[in-house]
């Protein structure tokens, strides 16, 4: 049973994403600067790549059916073809062309014998082939890489190195991309100060905005940094108004609960924002809230750094992806054995930081990483990901299979 007045994380995610739509416009971007940008419309092939059939190996181009009928035949080598330098004649049956990887297949032959499988007679200029070939053996067909009319890169794709490479292979020097989403960041609390200043007794340095800036920037969005807001409703309302005026999205951290010094709900009401949700049945991250101002969104994350990180990754990031012209990718959940025991009460999901280890049997298991607590930021550093303990679960026993959610930084 869900804790009263709270939403399960998946319910909140579904509700949030149903309210989100792309809000960015389109601009042109040079291919060399397009990595990390989102494609605004599908890239469709205007030609085959390769344009013609070519050799996949170094060897000799011959007719496969002739070789099958005459396996001991000595093929007369009538020419040479290399990449960029095709053989221009027609090759009759029983003859061969010496060919190199990437060279256009000459007219006639439909297979290539690898040079390691050929016996060359330099004196009379012939070869004999010590293998059988099928039509198409070691031959790349036209359009093997890209076929005329097919979608090379779907609309909304965040362009990675392979996308840039294939766009270049298709002859593009510029691409139509989505404008970067503009995300404003602000922190709340009398107890936090900017790094580099002298904190008073009871104050600490703001870690949330630098962390969120890194997260948002890594997701390809533009960041605008706003000030630390004191624990005052009027100050927060003014800060929200300033940020909303110049940003597509505003993300604040801190002040999201319902204590005397928590003012996000008051500020959202003053701005006329519609509440998408507030309070989640999850740990860490219970007090998260989202407000809607037309097409713009305000994400009110908890002040505890681990909670802010988890809420951004699980809920804010997929919403920002849609607003920026992409899609909300499904959360990758991999069943992995727990190497520990952990107790919890049913009614809310828990997300614990873990590292992967190999046990004595050679199996991959999860072990808890770092000290527990939503404010223990060090538990995120060097963690491989999160273990997701479902809402209804009453705890974890060693050997249980639960969902491992890897951090993208630990991938290849």
| pLDDT for res 371 | 81
Q: Convert the pLDDT of each residue in 52-102 to its tens digit.
A: 999 999 999 999 999 999 999 999 999 999 999 999 999 999 999 999 999
Phi, psi torsion values for 62, nearest 5 degrees: -145, 175
Q: Convert the pLDDT of each residue in 183-230 to its tens digit.
A: 999 999 999 999 989 989 989 999 999 999 999 999 999 999 998 999
Give the range among 190-194, 283-287, 364-368, 369-373 with minimum mean pLDDT.
369-373
DSSP 3-state of 267: helix
> Considering only CA atoms, which of 295, 290, 405, 282 is closest in space to residue 353?
405
**pLDDT class for 410, splitting at 50, 70, 90?**
confident
Domains of the chain: 9-24+182-323 (3.40.980.10), 27-49+146-178 (3.90.105.10), 54-140 (2.170.190.11), 334-410 (2.40.340.10)
* Residue range 251-262: mean pLDDT, rounded: 82
The residues, any chain, with a CB within 8 Å of residue 243's CB and separated by 6 or more, are 184, 186, 224, 226, 250
* Residue range 293-312: mean pLDDT, rounded: 96
* Residue range 26-41: mean pLDDT, rounded: 97
Distance CA(176)–CA(159), nearest Å, equals 12
Percent of the chain with pLDDT over 90: 90
> Considering only CA atoms, which of 360, 342, 317, 346 is closest in space to residue 398?
342
**Please, where are the H alpha helices in 122-232?**
161-169, 208-218
> E-strand spans in 3-92?
26-30, 43-44, 54-55, 59-62, 75-81
**pLDDT class for 2, splitting at 50, 70, 90?**
confident
Question: Is the pLDDT reported for residue 343 higher than 80?
Answer: yes
User: Around 405, how many Cα atoms within 13 Å sit in the side-chain half-sphere?
Assistant: 14
Q: Is the peptide bond before 13 cis (omega within 30 degrees of 0)?
A: no
Q: Model-level pTM? A: 0.89
Distance CA(269)–CA(405), nearest Å, equals 35
> E-strand spans in 64-219?
75-81, 95-99, 111-114, 118-121, 126-129, 139-140, 151-153, 174-178, 182-188, 192-193, 204-205
């Amino acid at each position: 049973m869900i804790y009263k007045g709270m939403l399960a994380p998946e319910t909140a995610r579904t509700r949030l994403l149903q309210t989100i739509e792309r809000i960015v416009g389109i601009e042109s971007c040079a291919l060399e600067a397009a990595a990390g940008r989102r494609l605004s419309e599908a890239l469709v092939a205007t030609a085959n790549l390769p344009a013609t059939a070519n050799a996949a190996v170094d060897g000799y181009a011959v007719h496969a059916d002739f070789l099958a009928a005459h396996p001991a035949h000595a093929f007369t080598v009538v020419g040479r073809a290399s990449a960029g330098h095709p053989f221009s004649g027609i090759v009759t049956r029983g003859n061969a062309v010496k060919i190199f990887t990437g060279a256009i297949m000459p007219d006639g032959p439909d297979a290539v014998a690898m040079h390691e499988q050929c016996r060359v007679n330099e004196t009379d200029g012939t070869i004999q082939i010590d293998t059988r070939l099928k039509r198409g053996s070691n031959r790349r067909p036209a359009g093997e890489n890209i076929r005329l009319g097919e979608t090379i890169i779907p609309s909304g794709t965040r362009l990675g190195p392979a996308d840039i490479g294939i766009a270049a292979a298709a002859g593009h020097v510029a691409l139509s991309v989505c404008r970067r989403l503009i995300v404003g960041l602000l922190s709340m609390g009398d107890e936090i100060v900017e790094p580099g200043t002298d904190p008073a007794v009871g104050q600490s340095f703001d870690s949330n905005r630098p962390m969120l800036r890194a997260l948002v920037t890594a997701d390809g969005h533009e960041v605008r940094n706003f000030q630390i807001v004191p624990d005052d409703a009027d100050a927060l309302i003014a800060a929200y108004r300033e940020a909303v005026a110049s940003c597509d999205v505003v993300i604040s951290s801190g002040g999201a609960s319902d204590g005397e010094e928590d003012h996000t709900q008051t500020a959202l009401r003053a701005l006329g924002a519609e509440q998408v949700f507030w309070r989640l049945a999850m740990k860490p991250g219970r007090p998260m809230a989202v407000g809607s101002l037309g097409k713009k969104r305000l994400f009110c994350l908890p002040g505890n750094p681990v909670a802010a990180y988890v809420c951004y990754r699980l809920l804010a990031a997929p919403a920002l992806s849609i607003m920026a012209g992409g899609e909300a990718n499904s959360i990758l959940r991999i069943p992995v054995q727990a190497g520990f025991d952990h107790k919890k009460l049913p009614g809310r999901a828990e997300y614990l930081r873990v590292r992967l280890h190999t046990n004595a049997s050679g199996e991959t298991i999860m072990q808890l990483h770092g000290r527990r607590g939503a404010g223990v930021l060090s538990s995120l550093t060097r963690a491989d990901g999160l273990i997701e303990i479902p809402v209804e679960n009453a705890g974890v026993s060693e050997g249980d299979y639960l969902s491992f959610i890897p951090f993208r930084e630990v991938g290849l």
